[in-house]
């Protein structure tokens, strides 16, 4: 396998706060990395650095052989990185289908002039976008396809999370970043999410996934490559069993007194 994403010695400071401290890791093409750690550890900040929301104070990020450190977010998406967020970023008043189509904007060619002077070309491209969007909505274990004309804001929480993933996939990414994808889901919905991700990887074997998760059942479903961050620093990395048994990880989650007890 070849390395798709490489993060080298990334540090980012906000005033006197060190949000990430000399973090390094890499992910191979077609693999899954689970990032764990307590609240405020710097996990979402790491995603923001990779996707160009934040420029690191030092260090570098390389994607598919090209350095993307500090590149604007739209360029990062164009290069093949898509993400979801902890809080919903859906267009609530637009339909489920329209939300997915919006995710294709970096892959469409029709502009204002084409729409005005070559409406047939624009219409054919839109028809193709609708077809692709409907296919993405059928991928998941829920009933998003049947709800495709509903306003996104009326969906149940679990379906909103599925829709955010479908919209991210609409940009045809090489790397998908999932920030707390199971938040707000019950056990049954979380199990369905895991099934969705497994199915997605089977249908897209070259797609790499990095997921931030608190639900260890989700992490345990993808145990080969796990990294734990605490206070902005990488404290453990390896398979899930090894990381879970690391005293520093247990201390980060439970506290020193509880671990010694």
In a domain, 30, yes or no: yes
The total of structural domains in the chain comes to 2
Give 113's pLDDT tier (boundaries 50, 70, 90): very low
In a domain, 27, yes or no: yes
DSSP, residue by residue, 133-192: HHHHHHHSSS-TGGGTTSBGGGS-HHHHHHHHHHHHHTT--SEEEEESTTTT--HHHHHH
How confident is the model at residue 66, as a pLDDT?
Answer: 97
Show which of 149, 171, 193 is a domain's final residue.
Answer: 171
Q: Tell me, yes or no, whether 180 and 242 share the same domain.
A: yes
- Quick count: other Cβ atoms within 10 Å of Cβ 192? 17
How confident is the model at residue 257, as a pLDDT?
Answer: 46
Q: Tell me, yes or no, whether 39 and 165 share the same domain.
A: no
Q: Tell me, yes or no, whether 67 and 179 share the same domain.
A: yes
| Rounded CA separation 20/112 (Å) | 42
Beta bridge partners of 12: 20
**Tens digits of residue pLDDT in 186-226:** 999 999 999 999 999 998 999 999 999 999 999 999 999 99
Q: Tell me, yes or no, whether 234 and 258 share the same domain.
A: yes
Q: Whole-prediction pTM value?
A: 0.89
Query: What is the CATH classification number for the domain harbouring 241?
Result: 3.40.50.300
Q: Tell me, yes or no, whether 189 and 62 share the same domain.
A: yes
Give the alpha-carbon dihedral of 23, 24, 28, 34, to 10 degrees: -30
SS3 229: strand
Chain position carrying tokens 């980012």: 12
Task: Read off φ and ψ for residue 222, nearest 5 degrees.
Answer: -135, 70
Structure tokens at 154: 């009326």
Parallel, antiparallel, or unpaired: how do β-strands 208-212 and 175-179 relate? parallel
For the sheet containing 81-83, what is the strand order?
Answer: 81-83, 175-179, 208-212, 32-36, 226-230, 233-238
Q: Tell me, yes or no, whether 133 and 187 share the same domain.
A: no
Full residue range of the structural domain in which residue 199 is found: 1-80+173-261
| Rounded CA separation 51/60 (Å) | 12
Structure tokens at 228: 């734990």
In a domain, 85, yes or no: no
Q: Tell me, yes or no, whether 73 and 189 share the same domain.
A: yes
- Quick count: other Cβ atoms within 10 Å of Cβ 169? 20
Dihedral sign computed on CA atoms, order 188, 189, 190, 195: positive
Show which of 153, 171, 189 is a domain's final residue.
Answer: 171
In a domain, 103, yes or no: yes
Q: Tell me, yes or no, whether 153 and 229 share the same domain.
A: no
Show which of 150, 171, 192 is a domain's final residue.
Answer: 171
Q: Tell me, yes or no, whether 76 and 110 share the same domain.
A: no
In a domain, 86, yes or no: no
Of 4, 10, 5, residue with least CA distance to 60: 10
For residues 13-18, average pLDDT = 93
Q: Tell me, yes or no, whether 152 and 188 share the same domain.
A: no
Give 127's pLDDT tier (boundaries 50, 70, 90): confident
For residues 65-92, average pLDDT = 92
Of 233, 215, 178, 185, residue with least CA distance to 200: 178
Average pLDDT taken over every residue of the chain: 89
Q: Tell me, yes or no, whether 138 and 177 share the same domain.
A: no
**Tens digits of residue pLDDT in 242-256:** 999 999 999 998 775
Q: Is 159 left (phi over 0), alpha (psi -120 to 50) or beta?
A: alpha
Q: Tell me, yes or no, whether 150 and 40 share the same domain.
A: no
């Amino acid at each position: 396998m070849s390395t798709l994403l490489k993060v080298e010695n990334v540090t980012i400071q906000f005033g006197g706060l060190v949000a990430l401290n000399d973090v390094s890791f890499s992910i191979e093409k077609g693999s899954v990395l689970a990032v764990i750690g307590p609240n405020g550890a710097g996990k979402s900040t790491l995603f923001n650095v990779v996707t160009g929301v934040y420029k690191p104070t030092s260090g570098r990020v390389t994607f598919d052989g090209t350095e993307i450190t500090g590149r604007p977010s739209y360029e990062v998406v164009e290069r093949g990185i898509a993400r979801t967020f902890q809080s919903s970023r859906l267009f609530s008043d637009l339909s489920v289908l329209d939300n997915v189509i919006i995710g294709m904007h970096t892959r469409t060619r029709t502009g204002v002039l084409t729409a005005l002077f070559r409406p047939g070309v624009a219409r054919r491209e839109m028809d193709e976008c609708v077809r692709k969007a409907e296919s993405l909505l059928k991928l998941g274990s829920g009933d998003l396809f049947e709800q495709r004309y509903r306003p996104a804001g009326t969906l149940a929480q679990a379906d909103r999370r599925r829709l955010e993933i479908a919209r991210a996939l609409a940009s045809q990414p090489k790397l998908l970043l999932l920030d707390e994808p199971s938040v707000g889901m019950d056990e049954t919905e979380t199990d369905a999410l895991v099934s969705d991700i497994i199915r997605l990887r089977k249908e897209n074997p070259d797609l790499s996934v990095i997921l931030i998760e608190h639900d260890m059942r989700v992490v345990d479903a993808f145990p080969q490559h796990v990294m734990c961050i605490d206070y902005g620093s990488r404290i453990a990395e390896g398979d899930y069993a090894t990381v879970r048994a690391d005293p520093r990880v247990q201390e980060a989650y439970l506290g020193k007194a509880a671990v010694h007890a």
